[in-house]
Amino acid sequence: MSPQSIPIHALTEEAHSIGNIRALLTEIASLLDKLDRNNESGMIDLNSLPLAPGEYEKLRLALGRGEVSARIDAIGPSEIIETHYPGVWWVTHYNVEGDIVADLLEIATIPEIIKSQPEDMHAGLARLRTRLSEVAE
């Protein structure tokens, strides 16, 4: 028996579909509607959902990629991508080894993690003032 004679049966997409993607897209639409009407942001934690194998990739395909992407380096990288639907962001946090530690869909005008934090701004201002005083001397 040659390897070529082994029959290969391609499974249809429906064979493993259990309906999570449609449910998720419906929830995203509802959150996006809230953002649009009331400027109310929302999040979906993908780690807490019982997705079937392959559904994660299907969700990626369904949401696609939009115009904006950003990368943060803070105790490991973070990847922020605006999806094909403005206001819907895919935020993935990795640790320094490259494992995913949090995977979220954030429905907001700007994801929270991108904003400068007040504590960091205070510390940065102090550093800048020190620098200025050194330059003055």
CA dist 32 and 26 (Å) reads 10
The stretch among 22-30, 31-39, 93-101, 125-133 that binds another protein (CB under 8 A) is 93-101
Q: Residues 30, 47, 109, 130: which binds another protein (CB under 8 A)?
A: 47
Largest CA distance in the chain: 85
Q: Return the residues of window 16-45 that contact another protein according to CB under 8 A.
A: 16, 18-20, 42-45
Which of residues 115 and 136 has its CB atom nearest to another protein in the complex?
Answer: 115
CA dist 14 and 130 (Å) reads 63
CB of 136 to another protein, least distance (A): 26
Asked whether position 107 contacts another protein by CB under 8 A, the answer is no
Asked whether position 113 contacts another protein by CB under 8 A, the answer is yes
CA dist 33 and 40 (Å) reads 9
**Cβ neighbours for 45, distance < 8 A, ≥ 6 positions apart:** 102, 103, 104
CB of 85 to another protein, least distance (A): 19
Which of residues 85 and 94 has its CB atom nearest to another protein in the complex?
Answer: 94
CA dist 34 and 38 (Å) reads 6
Read off the DSSP letter of residue 53: T
